[in-house]
A and B are shown apart, each in its own frame.
Chain A
Amino acid sequence: MIAKELLKGSLKSIVLKLLSENDRMYGYELTQKVEELTEGKIKLTLGALYPVLHKLEKEGALETEAVQVNNRTRIYYKLTQTGNSTALEKIKELEEFVQTINILLNPNLGLQPCTV
């Protein structure tokens, strides 16, 4: 399991990335997808996911659509026009972040001490 604190900053990017690859998704589907892709290492909780979804909707990156499924209302999210560019930006940002962290974690790459 990945710790919540590590996940916090990149949650937005993860959501945008998933939505950019799928036409429309609903909350539960998102959590399932993440769990499936990461083989259970990342579990999005209710409490973490929905605030972010609503925030993105408020910012205009996402739009919603209500559909009746099994006697209940399901809210689907999809990227808007602006959302597409935001997604690209955010994904790029996350990639950079991961690379930078990698450098930090392996600072001696190619500079192994000589053993004479």
Chain B
Amino acid sequence: MYCLTNEQISFIEREVDNDEITYSHLRYELIDHVCCEIESQMQAGIYFKEAYDKIRNQSGFKGFKKIQTDTLSLIDKNYRIMRNMMKIGGMAALILLGFGTVFKINHWPGAGIMLLGGFFLMCFVFFPTALYVMNRESKMKGKNIVFASVFIGGITFMLGTLFKVQHWPGAGLLLMVGDVILLFLFIPSLLYYKMNSTADRKKRQVYLLGALSLMLFLGGSFFKMFHWPGAQILIITGSISLISVFLPVYAYREYKNSQHVHASFIYIIIAFMYFTLFETLLAMNVSKPLVSDYIHAEKMESSSTKQLDDFNQTNYNLLLNDSTVDQAKLLTLRENTNELCAYLQDLKIRLITRTEQVEAEQAGKLVDNIELLHNMTESKIPTQFMLGEYGKATELKNKIDEYKKLLTDYVQDNPATSEAISNILSTGLPSNYAEFYTSWEEAQFGNVFLSGDIGILSHIQYNLRIAENLALKSKQTSLNL
């Protein structure tokens, strides 16, 4: 009877270990079985390698791993149920997400429900069951920390994503907690056990490289979400070392170590890419200021104000050409409007100077580009400036009231316009605000963040120009111009 050499036996051992056979004494049995089979074939004159390949082909694409899953399925009812749930859940989630996306793109009804359903299946059926199955199949020492951290971190992170997409409150917190758990518990513990489980120095280096770049990348997106400095550099270094250093090295080693590429290797790469892409997009989106809508509105209004100003200027010129018009009154009106507008502009600049801690000149540039503000969500300093010891809001209110009086006097022969102007420049507290605020000042500027304040001031500027325009129009009509 032919006997395999020690080298041949250890080759078979490596091959079986490659499939991560961990259940009970199955590993020994498979090694022994394959050895016996090869021995009998070699007895018949077949070479070792050829005999091995033949057996390998017989056991199918998934190889020894399938024997283990079949064994576990047969023995453990929970495992069987979990495995089936994982398969069905994963499939259903994919189908729902796929159809949901198609429906969404085409604006057909039901897209939201499908995406949400797919997401829930992915999060609460596929993910936990897949972890259970992996946990059952793995023999890693101290694996509990690894699995617990990825379970809690993963679920929190996915919930955070859901909250973010649905604009529910608390998304930022969930994402943060999930990220922290993944970053400081899961990756280090996984790295630790991976490092312990292999003696191969090169393999350990690859693991270390992967974990470090992943941590850099995750840390970068974390920084990005909180607008901390250095996010960009972390993300860039992390993603570059992940994609252009770790992945090629890992792939190369995988290819070199075994003749056949595992299906799981392909899944890992795909999952990896998906996660990286997704995380980047999310970090960009989370870091997008909540106040971007205000900024947009402010920009629109500012440009409208400028147009109205030009338009009003032509109206003035028209009126000034008419000999019956009281030119002095008209010029006072123009002067007062410009003055109040300039005052508002000055308020904006001073708000920026204080909150951003910059020179007036710099603030003057920023006022036209408020998306560049660093502290646009800061509300303490602006509130103090507008309502607190400086009381700028009351000063502003008085100025508006003065101007309003001037304007309504000017059009007193036209009650409709007069009323419209009073409404537009109203400094009273709207009745539906009365239960929340005590004054106009508080309703406008109480606890408002910087970009919000600027938006409100720009809105008043816009209203000024509208009111001015109404007054000029009314004058023109009365003169039949």
Q: Does A75 contact B (CB under 8 A)?
A: yes
Contact mask B22-43 → A, CB, 8 Å, 1/0? 0111101111110111000000
The answer to whether A46 and B30 touch (CB under 8 A), given A54-B24, A72-B35, is yes
Tell me if B59 and A46 are in contact (CB < 8 A).
Answer: yes
Mask, A44-66, CB within 8 Å of B = 1, is: 01110011111100100000101
- B58 in complex: contacting residue of A45, A50, A72, CB < 8 Å: A45
Chain A residues, Cβ within 8 Å of B26: 50, 54
Cβ–Cβ contact A47 & B9, under 8 A? no
**Contact between A55 and B36 (Cβ–Cβ < 8 Å)?**
no
* Least distance between B86 CB and chain A CB atoms (Å): 19
Tell me if B28 and A46 are in contact (CB < 8 A): no
Binding site for A on B (CB under 8 A): 3-4, 6, 9, 23-26, 28-33, 35-37, 58-60, 64, 66-67, 70-71, 73-75
**CA distance in complex: A22, B31 (Å):** 23
B66 touches A72 (CB 8 A): no
Complex contact B74–A54 (CB within 8 A): yes
Contact present for A27 and B74 (CB under 8 Å): no
A71 within 8 A of B: yes
CA distance A26 to B34 in the complex (A): 13
Q: How far is the CA of A53 from the CA of B392 in the complex (A)?
A: 86
Does A71 lie within 8 Å of B9, measured CB to CB? yes
Closest A residue to B31 by CB, please name it.
A72
CB–CB A28/B28 < 8 A: no
The CA of A37 and the CA of B58, in the complex, are separated in Å by 22
User: A26-B29, A51-B67, A58-B75 are known contacts; what are 20 more A-B pairs with Cβ within 8 Å?
Assistant: A28-B37, A45-B59, A46-B58, A47-B70, A50-B71, A51-B70, A51-B71, A51-B74, A54-B24, A54-B26, A54-B74, A54-B75, A66-B25, A69-B32, A70-B4, A70-B9, A71-B6, A72-B9, A72-B32, A73-B31
- A90 touches B (CB below 8 Å): no
B34 to chain A, nearest CB (A): 8
- Return chain B residues, CB-CB under 8 Å to A74: 28, 32
Which residues of A are interface residues toward B (Cβ below 8 A)? 26-28, 45-47, 50-55, 58, 64, 66, 69-75
Question: Is the CB–CB distance between B33 and A47 below 8 Å?
Answer: no
Docked pose: A50 CA to B64 CA in angstroms: 11
- Give the residue among A27, A51, A73, A74 with the most B Cβ atoms within 10 A: A51
Least CB separation from A47: chain B residue: B67
A41 to B37, CA, bound (A): 18
Residues in A with CB closer than 8 Å to B9 are: 70-72
Assembly CA distance A70 to B2 (angstroms): 11
Contacts of A55 in B (CB 8 A): 71, 74-75
Residues on the A chain within 8 Å of B59, using CB = 45-47
Once the chains bind, are A64 and B25 in contact (CB under 8 Å)?
A: yes
Measured between C-beta atoms, what is the minimum distance from B241 to chain A in Å?
A: 41
Most buried by B among A26, A50, A55: A50
What chain B residues lie within 8 Å of A75 (beta carbons)? 25, 28-29, 32
Across the A-B interface, the 5 shortest Cβ-Cβ residue pairs: A28-B36, A73-B28, A51-B71, A51-B74, A51-B70
- Could you list 27 A-B pairs, sorted by A, with CB under 8 Å? A26-B29, A27-B29, A27-B32, A28-B32, A28-B33, A46-B33, A46-B64, A47-B59, A47-B60, A47-B66, A47-B70, A50-B29, A50-B30, A51-B67, A51-B74, A51-B75, A52-B74, A54-B24, A55-B74, A55-B75, A64-B25, A66-B28, A70-B9, A71-B6, A72-B9, A74-B28, A75-B25
Q: Are B58 and A73 in contact, with the CB atoms below 8 A? A: no
Q: How far, in whole Å, are A112 and B241 apart by their CA atoms in the complex?
A: 83
Given the complex of chains A and B, what is the CA–CA distance between A66 and B24 in angstroms? 12
**Please, which residues of chain B bring their CB within 8 A of the CB of A47?**
59-60, 66-67, 70
Taking CB atoms, residues of chain A closer than 8 Å to B28 are 66, 72-75
Chain B residues closer than 8 Å to A53, beta-carbon distance: 29
- Whose C-beta in chain B lies nearest to the C-beta of A30? B33
| Chain A positions within 8 Å of B30 at CB level | 46, 50
* Alpha-carbon gap, A14 to B468, bound state (A): 101
CB neighbours (8 Å) of B71 from chain A are 50-51, 54-55
Given contacts A55-B74, A70-B4, A72-B9, contact A50 B32 (CB under 8 A): no
* Separation of A55 and B37 alpha carbons in the complex (Å): 23
A residues in contact with B24, CB < 8 Å: 54
